[in-house]
Amino acid sequence: MAEWQQTRLGEISQIYSGFAFRSRDLGEAGIPIVKIGNIQNKRVSPECADHLPEELCIEKLNRYFLQQGDTLIAMTGAGSVGKVGKMPRVDGRFLVNQRVAIVRPEDSRCDPAFVYFVLSQDYYETKLYGLGLGAGQPNVSAKQIGELEIPFPPLPVQRRIAGILSAYDELMENSQRRIRLLEAMARALYRERFVHFRFPGHEKLPRVAFPLGDIPQGWEVKPLSQLCSRMESGGTPKRKTAEYWEGGDIDWFKTGERWGGFLFASEEKITGRGQRESNARLFEPGTIFMAICGSPTVGRLGIVTRPSSCNQAALGVVADREQISQTLLYFVLLSLRGHFKGLAQGAAQQNISKEKVASTVALVPPRSLVAPFDRRRADV
């Protein structure tokens, strides 16, 4: 430790904000643009809502392309400023917008991965968040980021630390990829049995006419309100009440986090008092969280793995076990995401209400088909 020094981040890195794209130039195809919402749980998600058409990509944008080794920092937004992330693998081209800072180590004495692991510590995210609170709209500048002092051991030590942490990261990423693969297989099984109606014994079952198309005999169409024993939105404890946040141990999920599959830990946590004295309801493990606000998050799903809460931009949904299993309900909601996004596009704030979700109808198979599906999914 005697050889360890401190250095300002700006002395070993280029630090600048991304490019200010014009909204009218953006679309659904082209080069994806990384925004604040892509920085989730210390990672940068490749799922982007906005894209720049290839024909508008000019030479001056070259420095704003995401590079392997870049660390990104959210520069604005209440609850977002100071968040740090990195894309594990930069596969393809990504541009970065002006509300995100690019930290690009350029000193030969530093390891970019080490810089990321230092900045991603909660200490630095909290420090940056505090720096950004001075304005009406929380904001941190590239200059402030550059003035951060970080530990700066000799390069071999940096590489050793980064190597160990990267190995853990790779292990977690492999686990996430396996989970995504297994979920894809389960989706295929769901479509085979409950969308295309190729379930065991389907050849012997006649179809009956229905306004949306013929369905197998014995199946029913019901609103989601009848399929759920619980469907409630979350809430946000008052930010100015320190007792609601400091030392919190209850996961409190925001829809801007990295959802999909199981939710293991939230970026922010609230206290028991914060949960009790706000609309941030407590949901049991296995509850499905569904985003109901914002593009492209509307309809995203997550399954909590321990007692958790969420903000008002999400619903906590629990199946009525007499009607449907929690597993099958998850895939029903997943299949309806396009429908929910369509409803949201017609609203000024791109959101959907709990009432619209509750009134959405779904096709319900007989209980005799639900249990075998649950068992098969467990075997996947």
What is the rounded CA–CA span in Å between residue 24 and residue 9?
35
Instruction: Identify each DSSP E strand in 49-203 by its residue range.
Output: 51-52, 71-74, 84-85, 95-96, 100-105, 149-152
Side-chain half-sphere CA neighbours of 179 within 13 A: 14
What is the rounded CA–CA span in Å between residue 96 and residue 36?
9
Q: Are 47 and 144 in contact (CB under 8 A)?
A: no
DSSP 244: G
| pLDDT tens for the 380 residues of the chain, in order | 556 789 999 999 999 999 999 989 998 899 999 999 889 888 898 888 899 999 998 889 999 999 999 999 999 987 788 999 999 888 889 999 999 999 999 999 999 999 999 999 989 988 888 888 765 678 899 999 999 999 999 999 999 999 999 998 888 788 878 887 888 888 899 999 998 999 988 888 899 888 778 889 989 999 999 999 999 999 999 998 999 998 899 999 988 776 777 888 888 899 999 999 999 999 999 999 999 987 668 888 999 999 999 999 999 999 999 999 999 999 999 999 988 988 876 555 678 899 999 999 999 999 888 888 877 655 54
Burial of 333 (0-12, 13-18, 19+ CB in 10 A): buried
Helices and strands counted in the chain (H then E): 11, 23
Task: List the domains of the chain with CATH numbers.
Answer: 5-153 (3.90.220.20), 220-364 (3.90.220.20)
- AA identity, residue 26: L
For the beta carbon of residue 216, count every other beta carbon within 10 angstroms.
Answer: 18
